[in-house]
């Protein structure tokens, strides 16, 4: 069997990181893969390093660069549709020439283009959805169209969380596969009492600087946190992407207005992110909009760092472990600055409790989200799509 993996971008966003981690962890029974990206970039380099065959079929810049929110409107959709038609035809020819059996798409733009190309090439289609298909996340007409298509068009839809799946609940063939943690993302098991801290607390938020990630909320919570713990330092770990510079400026202006700017460092992109997470006293996930899954939450837990996170989207699934004998961290209402400050203060004021929760969280996420399981389920999904169960195939 041959599977073609399609993504419109080669920028390493959350979905692309999840894709790379999963492809790198596929079992020996995996089909023959070829990756087709619609742009050159770091994802292409990373997958090539992992020994995968990666081709780049460049999509016209103006189509691939539209952000989710600019993509709205019937006219824009029509214009976009017309612009990509020749591209979809070229892609279909390529897929047919390669004898591809399954087209596997991992971004919304590749879902749509891949749908046309897969049908023309006579291949099965698997959508892997990493975005909530909802109006608070996408322009309404785009969300409606995607929901309608998700219902019938693909042979299988995979969602990265039950929260994401709920946004396309009408889909006929739908299953959830959570993103997984690679061995490199898992730090040594923390022990209760580990964090009897002697140095000043460091509170960090990991993620690109964007209104959807809630850096502004953390800055607004900073004065109350500093009142209780005056030596606290804050780190905003990430950089503005996809035109979010204005928001980054707003975050800094707000910090200045609140008189906390000297306590807050915007680090920019940090390559050694696991070490950075491990060094935080508390890791905050402040997304005011529901996060489809929230890999950084699981990743911080896998580093043994206490986590305060907003309770929306896929994040509660990370926190919800029936086998755990207590909370895995702190959950707060999205957008609630006061609640966020309170939870961070609570975590900083009770390091013993923080470390107990961190121990539990580490045990829980490493048990529930290993990358090997994500890869196993994805492999199974591909084979099932062509109606071959792995046992029938004989595991060779
Ligand atoms: C997207 C989502 C994020 C999720 C990731 C992996 O980036 O926004 O919530 O963790 O995909 O599925």
Q: Among 1-10, 189-198, 270-279, which is the least confidently predicted range? A: 189-198
> Do 312 and 378 reside in the same domain of the chain?
no
> Do 143 and 248 reside in the same domain of the chain?
no
CATH number for the domain spanning 32: value is 3.40.50.2000
Split into its structural domains, the chain has a count of 2
> Do 250 and 110 reside in the same domain of the chain?
no
Residue 223: CB within 6 Å of ligand 1? no
> Do 203 and 341 reside in the same domain of the chain?
yes
> Do 202 and 246 reside in the same domain of the chain?
yes
Confidence (pLDDT) at 396: 43
pLDDT in tens, 61-108: 545 445 444 555 666 666 666 778 899 999 999 999 999 999 999 999
Cβ neighbors of 323 (< 8 A, separation 6 or more) are 364, 367
Which atom in ligand 1 lies closest to the alpha carbon of residue 314? 9
Domain with 307, as residue range(s), is 183-368
Distance between Cα 132 and ligand 1 center (Å): 9
Distance between Cα 299 and ligand 1 center (Å): 12
> Do 322 and 211 reside in the same domain of the chain?
yes
> Do 151 and 22 reside in the same domain of the chain?
yes
What is the Cα–Cα distance from 130 to 142, expressed in whole angstroms? 15
Question: What count of other Cβ atoms lies within 10 Å of the Cβ of residue 130?
Answer: 23
What is the Cα–Cα distance from 65 to 29, expressed in whole angstroms? 36
pLDDT of 120 strictly over 60: yes
DSSP, residue by residue, 300-328: HHHTT--EEEE-STTHHHHH--TTSSS-S
Residue 268, in any domain of the structure: yes
> Do 199 and 347 reside in the same domain of the chain?
yes
> Do 84 and 144 reside in the same domain of the chain?
yes
Residue 380, in any domain of the structure: yes
pLDDT in tens, 216-270: 999 999 999 999 999 999 999 998 877 789 999 999 999 999 999 999 999 998 8
Residue 225, in any domain of the structure: yes
Residue 369: CB within 6 Å of ligand 1? no
Residue 394, in any domain of the structure: no
> Do 252 and 336 reside in the same domain of the chain?
yes
Query: Per residue in 344-378, is it b (16+ CB within 10 Å) or e — as a string?
Result: bbebbeebebbbbbbbbbbbbbbebbbbebbbbbb
pLDDT in tens, 193-214: 766 566 899 999 999 999 999 9
> Do 119 and 152 reside in the same domain of the chain?
yes
Residue 145, in any domain of the structure: yes
Residue 187, in any domain of the structure: yes
Distance between Cα 65 and ligand 1 center (Å): 19
> Do 192 and 88 reside in the same domain of the chain?
no
> Are 68 and 107 spatial neighbours (Cβ–Cβ below 8 Å)?
no
Distance of CA 4 to the CA centre of its chain: 21
Distance between Cα 86 and ligand 1 center (Å): 30
Mutate to test the pocket of ligand 1, among 132, 211, 295 (most ligand atoms within 8 A of CB): 295
């Amino acid at each position: 069997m041959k599977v073609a993996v399609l993504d419109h971008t080669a920028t390493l966003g959350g979905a692309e990181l999840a894709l790379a981690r999963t492809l790198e962890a596929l079992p020996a029974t995996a089909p023959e893969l070829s990756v087709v990206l619609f742009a050159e970039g770091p994802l292409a380099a990373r997958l090539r390093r992992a020994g995968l065959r990666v081709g780049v079929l460049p999509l016209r810049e103006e189509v691939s660069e539209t952000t989710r929110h600019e993509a709205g409107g019937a006219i824009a959709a029509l214009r976009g549709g017309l612009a990509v038609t020749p591209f979809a035809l070229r892609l279909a020819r390529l897929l047919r020439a390669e004898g591809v059996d399954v087209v596997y798409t991992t971004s919304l733009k590749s879902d749509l283009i891949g749908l046309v190309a897969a049908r023309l090439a006579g291949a099965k289609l698997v959508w892997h959805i990493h975005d909530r298909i909802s109006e608070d996340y996408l322009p309404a007409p785009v969300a409606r169209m995607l929901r309608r298509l998700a219902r019938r068009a693909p042979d299988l839809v995979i969602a990265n969380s039950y929260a994401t799946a709920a946004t396309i609940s009408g889909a006929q063939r739908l299953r959830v596969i959570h993103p997984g943690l690679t061995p490199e993302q898992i730090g040594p098991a923390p022990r209760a009492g580990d964090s009897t801290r002697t140095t000043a607390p460091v509170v960090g938020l990991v993620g690109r600087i964007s209104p959807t990630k809630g850096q502004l909320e953390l800055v607004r919570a900073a004065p109350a946190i500093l009142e209780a713990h005056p030596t606290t330092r804050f780190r905003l770990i990430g950089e503005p992407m996809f035109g979010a510079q204005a928001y980054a400026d707003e975050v800094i202006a707000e910090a200045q207005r609140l008189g906390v700017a000297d306590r807050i460092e915007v680090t920019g992109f940090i390559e050694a992110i696991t070490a950075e997470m491990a060094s935080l006293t508390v890791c905050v996930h402040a997304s005011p909009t529901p996060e489809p899954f929230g890999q950084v939450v699981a990743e911080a837990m896998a580093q043994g760092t206490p986590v305060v996170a907003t309770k929306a989207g896929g994040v509660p699934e990370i926190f919800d472990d029936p086998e755990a004998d207590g909370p895995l961290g702190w959950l707060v209402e999205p957008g609630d600055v006061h609640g966020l400050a309170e939870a961070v203060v609570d975590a900083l004021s009770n390091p013993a409790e923080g470390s107990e929760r961190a121990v539990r969280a580490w045990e829980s996420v490493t048990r529930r989200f290993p990358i090997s399981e994500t890869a196993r389920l994805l492999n199974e999904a591909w084979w099932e799509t062509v109606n071959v169960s792995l046992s029938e195939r004989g595991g060779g």
